[in-house]
Each structure stands twice: as structure tokens, then as C-alpha cells.
Amino acid sequence: MHVINFLRKSRVVLRTRVIENTGCDSRLRNFFRDSRAMEVVSGLTHIEVTNDDPIVLFKNWLEEARSFSTPMPRAFCLATASGCGKVSARHLLLGRLDDDGFVTTTNGRSPKSQDLSEVPSAAMCFHWAYRRENGETVSRQVRIEGTVTKLGREEYEDIYEKSDISYKIRDHICEQSSPVDWNELKASHDRMLEKIKSEGVAPPMPEHTAGYKLFPSSMEFYYAKGRLIADRVLFLKNPKASDWTHHHLAA
């Protein structure tokens, strides 16, 4: 027991000689086997920051996730709060990334839109997990916090226009988050699909489709590679200017 404690503290690496000289019980052997295994897999991931603007790093990470066929790389979790402090979270798709913020679209009569009208601040969280060609696993997370602005219709129509026909139909027929009769909804969907097919035109964006932009005040990047200890970098926006500062955080 004495010997094990001593070795744990001093991290002596002369394994073979020590084993021989101490008569080597099985606990000692296990200790060395474990510590050898730890040496092989332990280390620190490193996030290299080459640009002071975190949006640039975000774009690089999104692009890499996309290039490794990560399912739904634009999906993120959005947390909002109501005026009385009730917090909710749900996933959305990033509609567009501008140089100054993150744009998404949703139903303007939904609970999240109600939250955003009461508390125009939110938190977004992206997670990407994939394997590189060399077999290395990557787990990356980006947490973004900031204020949210409701956009004018012309600022997000492009997102609606590019979306699949099923999303367009959904925007028209779904009173998002309200109780619904599934059979009635299906009938309404089929009628609209038939009309689109016969007229050959997709329906225009409905009035109640809303677009929001989150202007980030903080962005935190987390990167874990294989079994190495993760690295984190937090970017904070200078409230009086448009520049950012950043520093590493313990994982």
C-alpha cells in the first residue's frame, strides 16, 4: 500500500525495476498497467484561434461538420424565456448566417415567438459529432448568447423561398404547437399539395411566418478529439465596440 501511494504521488516511471525490487503483488502490476494505458490516451485538444472574429471560426467548424456528412449540421437548440421566467428549449434550423448574427424562421404565433416578444434574448447551442478520415472522433459544441431582433419580411423571404415544399405547406397549414386533429391536418395537407401540383406554383410565404436574428454577445467553442481532454474558447463582445476578446476555459 505504501509503495502504491508513493508511486501515485511521485509518478515514478521505472516500472520494470520497481516491480522486480518490490516483489510485485498483483495490485502493483494493475497499477502500472492502468498508468501505461493512461499515458497512451491522455492529452489535451487544442483550439487554434487564427481570427479575432468568432463568426469566422463558427463558419469553419460548420463547414467541416458539413464536409463529413454530419446529419443536419444546421440544427441547433434554442433556449428562450418567458416574461415570468419560464425557460423552454427546442431545436431549429439555422436559416442563414450573416456577418453579424444568426437568422432563423418560425411561426410568429408559436410559444417561442411569444417568449421572444416578452424577453428578446436567447441562447443557441450547436453540436456536431463525426469521424475524420484518419478515424479520429470529433465532438464540437458552440454556445451562443445574445439579443434577438424580429426581422422585416424582406429580410428572411429568401430562407422561405429556398425551403422544401413540405416546409412551405407546413408553414401554411400548421398552427404551430396548438392541439390538432391529425386526420383534418392530413386532409388539409393533401388539398394544398394537389393545388400546388395542378397550378405548378408554390404558395407564397404566409403572413405569420416570422424571422429572427440573434446578435451574439458571447460565443463559446468546445472541442474534444478522440479521448483527449477537451479545449474551450470563450469569445466576449466588447459592449462599447464591435470587437471581440477571447480566452481558453477549463473543460
Among 54, 55, 62, 112, indicate the residue that binds ligand FMN (CB under 6 A): 112
Q: How far is the CB of 238 from ligand FMN (least distance, A)?
A: 31
Q: Rule CB under 6 A: which of 17-76 touch ligand FMN?
A: 72, 75
Q: How many CB atoms lie within 10 A of CB 159?
A: 20
What's the one-letter identity of residue 177? S
Q: From 6-14, 31-39, 85-93, 180-188, give the range in contact with ligand FMN by CB under 6 A.
A: 85-93
Q: Is 162 in the site for ligand FMN (CB under 6 A)?
A: no
Q: Which is nearer to ligand FMN, 45 or 106 (CB)?
A: 106
Among 19, 92, 119, 192, indicate the residue that binds ligand FMN (CB under 6 A): 92
Q: Is 91 in the site for ligand FMN (CB under 6 A)?
A: yes
Q: How far is the CB of 176 from ligand FMN (least distance, A)?
A: 5
- E-strand stretches of 17-134: 75-81, 87-93, 96-97, 102-107, 121-131
Among 111, 120, 203, 226, indicate the residue that binds ligand FMN (CB under 6 A): 111
Among 45, 73, 110, 138, indicate the residue that binds ligand FMN (CB under 6 A): 110
Cα dihedral: 94, 215, 212, 166 (round 10): 0
Q: Which is nearer to ligand FMN, 160 or 244 (CB)?
A: 160
User: Would you say 147 and 218 are in contact if contact means Cβ atoms under 8 Å apart?
Assistant: no
Give the three cell numbers for residue 169: 405547406
Q: Rule CB under 6 A: which of 166-185 touch ligand FMN?
A: 176-177
CB burial string 213-240: b at 16+ within 10 A, e below? bbebbebbbbbbbeebebbbbbbebeee
Residue 145 neighbours by CB under 8 Å, 6+ apart: 121, 122, 123, 124, 216, 217, 218
Q: Is 77 in the site for ligand FMN (CB under 6 A)?
A: no
First to last CA, the chain: 32
- E-strand stretches of the chain: 75-81, 87-93, 96-97, 102-107, 121-131, 137-150, 209-225, 231-237, 244-249
> Measured between alpha carbons, how far is 132 from 45 in angstroms, rounded to an integer?
15
Among 30, 88, 137, 166, indicate the residue that binds ligand FMN (CB under 6 A): 88
Q: Which is nearer to ligand FMN, 72 or 249 (CB)?
A: 72
Site string for ligand FMN, 121-160 (x = CB under 6 A): ----------------------------------------
Residues of this chain that interact with ligand FMN (CB under 6 A) are 72, 75, 88, 90-93, 104, 106-107, 110-112, 176-177
